[in-house]
Structure 1
């Protein structure tokens, strides 16, 4: 009997109180804030999707957004190079702008040439697409993400 009471008291002491305001922020699905996983790609021709690709199960890419920061990473088991980037972002209406500060060795080479990346953004509560545009504003391809947290 003493063991049962001890277990009950232990579980009561481990109760975690959650701030209501924090919970409301976590449930804000109208923003990019959160963690997202890449699910596939669309290729465009004349601004129309002409092909789509799902992710290889062995390849993963995640993006994490806070209020002002973005970080993304790729996992490719067959590739020994590291792939990640970190910086700031801003989005308004249908535009997402990421400005990378640093990244993996491979990304640092890209960042040396180009730090700012602008995409067309299509955002819904649990999905988003970042669409790469050419210099004339035509869609080239998109990365398609789903919210994981």
Structure 2
């Protein structure tokens, strides 16, 4: 009888160990899939959110007269904006980093209008919400409250 109890305990120990390894592998695969998210590629602006003090959000949808495209390489960002009602060109180029939930863009140069902005501030820090085929960059105020967001969909 003692032999059967001993054999049962050995089988139980090995089967538990095997299950633990499978759980670890499943968790590794899940974390690997999450870490595979990347900004690399081309993105099209789909909407803006303007956050109000009362907690409400105004949404402005993109249209043929309001377009913006962002392109990310492994280290560089470039964006361009078309506003049919605006005679100014809008574009920017520079470096970026993205980690966890923070996107930082440091622009080297841009259109004439954007260069005026870059003279005052060339680093732009956003809260980042990244999914497989969409992302949002959210501008926060000094207290960490959202002010506005640009929402993109992946086009390439």
Normalised by the shorter chain, which TM-score bucket?
Answer: 0.7 to 0.9
CA apart distance, 1:89: 0.2
Map 1:54-65; keep pairs closer than 5 Å.
54-65=61-72
| Unmatched runs of 5 consecutive residues or more in structure 1 | 1-27
Equivalent in the alignment of 1:114: 121
Q: Which structure carries more helix by proportion?
A: 2
1:46–1:76 CA distance, 2 compared to 1 (3 A): closer
1:68 paired with 2:78, answer no
How many residues get paired? Answer: 122
| Cα shift readout 1:9-49 (whole Å, capped 9, x = no counterpart) | xxxxxxxxxxxxxxxxxxx9710000000000112246955
Secondary structure, aligned partner of 1:30: coil
CA apart distance, 1:96: 0.2
Q: State how far apart, in whole Å, the 2-side matches of 1:77 and 1:140 are.
A: 25
Equivalent in the alignment of 1:35: 42
| Cα shift readout 1:84-128 (whole Å, capped 9, x = no counterpart) | 000000011000000000000000000000000000000000000
Equivalent in the alignment of 1:4: none
CA root-mean-square deviation: 1.8
Q: State how far apart, in whole Å, the 2-side matches of 1:61 and 1:34 are.
A: 14
| RCO comparison, higher one (Cα < 8 Å, 6+) | 1
Larger Rg: 2
Of 60, 83, 90, the residue aligned with 1:83 is 90
1:116–1:61 CA distance, 2 compared to 1 (3 A): same
| Unmatched runs of 5 consecutive residues or more in structure 2 | 1-34
Q: State how far apart, in whole Å, the 2-side matches of 1:74 and 1:98 are.
A: 16
